[in-house]
Chain A
Amino acid sequence: MTVDSLKAALLVFVAALAQVSILDGYAPLGGTADLVLVVLLSLALLRGSLFGAVAGFGAGLLIDTANLDTLGFTSLLLTLAGYWIGRYGETTARDRIHAPFVSVGVVTILYAFGTLALRFVLGDSAPAGELLSGLPASLLLNLILTLPVYALVRRLFPPLELADRVHEVRLLG
């Protein structure tokens, strides 16, 4: 578990750096690819809700720090995203091939609306038109990223034995 945590921390760190240094500068078709989100969702699917929530919190903190944004803003959203997808991985999504794509698709949309809502609540500018116009492109880019990123994360974090990850169902014998 400790090795997994270290690997996850390193992966999230690299993904956050790549996001703020490289990917945020590109907006092909009007949308931005969110590598951190895809990495986080892959981790959450493979390691569960707790792991996903903590990784999301850390990734959000890194991004907010690097961008000098409101601390806690991205953490809040990514924590929720990691937790929710982790729960999905622990329950419904077991061994389903489409699970990463469904997760990324749904969370990309919810994350966009969550960002919009949170900015609105905090009194920041919330340009819904701009955000929504770029959403299809972001969704497409994230879905394209999902296949290689999930494959990489799955290689780094091989799926646990059923007994190791499911706590509600115990096997005897």
Chain B
Amino acid sequence: MPRNRTVRVAVLGSSVQRAASGYSSPRTGALKRRIVIGCLLLLSLVLITLSFRSSALDSVQGYGASALRPFETAANRVAQPFRDASGWTRGLFKAKAENRKLRSQLDYWRQVANREQVQASDNATLRKLLHYEDSPLFPQDYRPVAARVLTPPPTPFTQTITIAAGSHQGVVVQDVVVTQDGLVGQITKVTPSVSRVLLITDPESAVSAADANPSHPGALGLLEHGSAGNSLALDNVTKDKVVEPGDTIVTAGSPGNGQLPSIFPRGILIGTVTSAGQNDIDLFKQIQVQPFVDLSSLQSVLVLVPKATRPPAP
């Protein structure tokens, strides 16, 4: 071969004489490699076998582990600050995640507690209504339709509420609405599932009422909106009738053997007389009545639906 040639020629598996650079021949290299690999694998298997079959290597392994222990300790010491930093960071993230989780749990349980409080309150109200329904005070010719109050308590400008009962439950306009404490009002508008109730404190409301004091019966009048926001006035009571503060006012029903029909059944509690007076100018007494029902915090009511078949609507 020329000494100054520039093209390098690769020869695969050539049988040329080994150069002096120390390369092993292909066959020798492959053989050496296989022998070493075989030895290492065999040694591994022998070690595994010995480890399983006898405890001969335990002491050797123990010495080895002891020899490595200082290095491991040193490595641990070197790594400790990083480990602490990592632990602190992880703890911080964990704390944040845990905080979020606990907050969401707190919100959930707060909602549950609120819901249970509402349910307990509803339960108490409904129990009272049920008790009222079974009491002799409940008008006999009516069946109750219990309904939840949907609208907020009435303001001085809106003396109406809406309830969750309507024509599907048999409610019609002018049905009477009560609670276990007394009269609430009457139905003025009905939809299939919601109705509007005109409260007795509304200026357009009027109820024929009577003094229920057995010692001086006969005081009959018209209960209307009073001077104060939540009070009532019993009008049209003649001066010859005796009405005293503390007397109980109830619905009068249809007096005169039904000649003066009223939508309100007789004997429903309305309120108590807070003041009663008269003067020479007025024809009637001035009687102020405080209703038994707290109309500002109504939760549930009963609609009195007549048991008798209603006449068909015009």
Q: Give me the interface of A with B, judged by CB distance under 8 Å.
A: 13, 17-18, 20-22, 25-26, 49-50, 53-54, 57, 60-62, 64-66, 68, 70-73, 75-76, 79-80, 83, 122, 163, 167-173
Contacts and interface: CB of A to CB of B under 8 A. Distances in A.
Contact of B37 (A18, A62, A83): A83
Nearest to B79: A22
Contacts of B260: none
A76 B41 contact: yes
Contact size range, B = 35 or more
A64 B178 CA distance: 86
Contacts of A20: 72
Contact of B14 (A54, A57, A170): A170
Contacts of A168: 12-13, 26, 29-30
Contact of B12 (A54, A60, A75, A169): A169
B303 to A, nearest CB: 62
A18 B75 contact: yes
Nearest to A25: B83
Contact of B5 (A73, A167, A173): A173
B51 A57 contact: no
A57 B9 contact: no
Contacts of A80: 41
Interface string B24-57: 1110011011001100110111111111100001
Interface in B190-207: none
Contact of A72 (B11, B12, B48): B48
B12 A71 contact: no
A70 B9 CA distance: 50
A21 B79 contact: yes
Given A17-B68, A72-B44, 17 more contacts: A17-B75, A21-B75, A22-B83, A53-B37, A57-B43, A64-B61, A65-B68, A71-B47, A72-B46, A72-B48, A72-B51, A73-B44, A163-B23, A168-B26, A170-B10, A170-B16, A173-B7
A50 B52 contact: no
B11 to A, nearest CB: 6
Classify the interface of chain A: helix, strand, loop or mixed: helix
Contacts, number: 121
Contacts of A50: 32-33, 36-37
A76 B29 contact: no
Contacts of B5: 173
B76 interface: yes
Interface in B157-208: none
B50 A167 contact: no
A122 B75 contact: no
A110 to B, nearest CB: 16
B307 interface: no
A171 B12 CA distance: 9
Contacts of A21: 72, 75-76, 79
B11 A66 contact: no
B239 to A, nearest CB: 92
A57 B44 contact: yes
A102 to B, nearest CB: 22
B57 A71 contact: yes
B51 A17 contact: no
A78 to B, nearest CB: 9
B68 A167 contact: no
B64 interface: yes
Nearest to A173: B8
B164 to A, nearest CB: 52
B10 A171 contact: yes
